């Protein structure tokens, strides 16, 4: 239910955008969500560029505009290669096989570690029992 204030806000929105208010508000909401995603992605790219500058010991404040453009271009290429390899490992058959093998190896190692732990616990129990 609406109180009087909410109802007046709804009426003013309806007057501004016409009768199809919910569709208009949904479009605006989608647009805001896309803008938020863009800003988040933009921040991630900025952080990645700063990380690359730090790795290469580059002082960004001392670069000229042309040098900055060249550096950012190179950094974006590096970021693109990282993204490309991540996508490649998920899309290609070889990449999926490699990921599945790594996962299987991890599970096998965990199982072997558990077995070794159980053996060590049994030995410890036997040693304690022999001491008594």
- For 89-106, what is the mean pLDDT? 86
What integer best gives the mean pLDDT of the chain? 76
Residue 30 and residue 38 in contact, taking contact as beta carbons nearer than 8 Å: no
- Measured CA to CA, the distance from residue 106 to residue 87 in angstroms comes to 21
The closest of 28, 13, 18, 19 to 5, measured between CA atoms, is 13
- For 25-30, what is the mean pLDDT? 61
Could you give the dihedral angle defined by the CA atoms of residues 65, 68, 72 and 73, in that order, rounded to the nearest 10 degrees?
A: 70
Whether the per-residue pLDDT at 115 is higher than 90: the answer is: yes
Residue 30 and residue 23 in contact, taking contact as beta carbons nearer than 8 Å: no
Q: Which region among 11-20, 37-46, 107-116 has the lowest average model confidence (pLDDT)?
A: 11-20
For the entire predicted model, the pTM comes to 0.37
């Amino acid at each position: 239910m609406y109180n009087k204030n909410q109802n007046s806000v709804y009426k003013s929105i309806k007057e501004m955008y016409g009768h199809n208010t919910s569709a208009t508000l949904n479009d605006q909401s989608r647009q805001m969500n896309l803008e938020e995603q863009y800003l988040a992605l933009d921040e991630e790219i900025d952080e990645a560029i700063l990380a690359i500058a730090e790795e290469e010991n580059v002082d960004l404040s001392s670069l000229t505009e042309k040098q900055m453009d060249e550096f950012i271009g190179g950094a974006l290429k590096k970021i693109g290669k990282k993204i490309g390899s991540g996508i490649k490992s998920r899309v290609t058959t070889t990449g999926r096989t490699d990921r599945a093998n790594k996962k299987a190896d991890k599970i096998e190692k965990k199982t072997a570690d558990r077995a070794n732990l159980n053996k060590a616990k049994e030995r410890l129990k036997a040693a304690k029992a022999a001491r008594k």
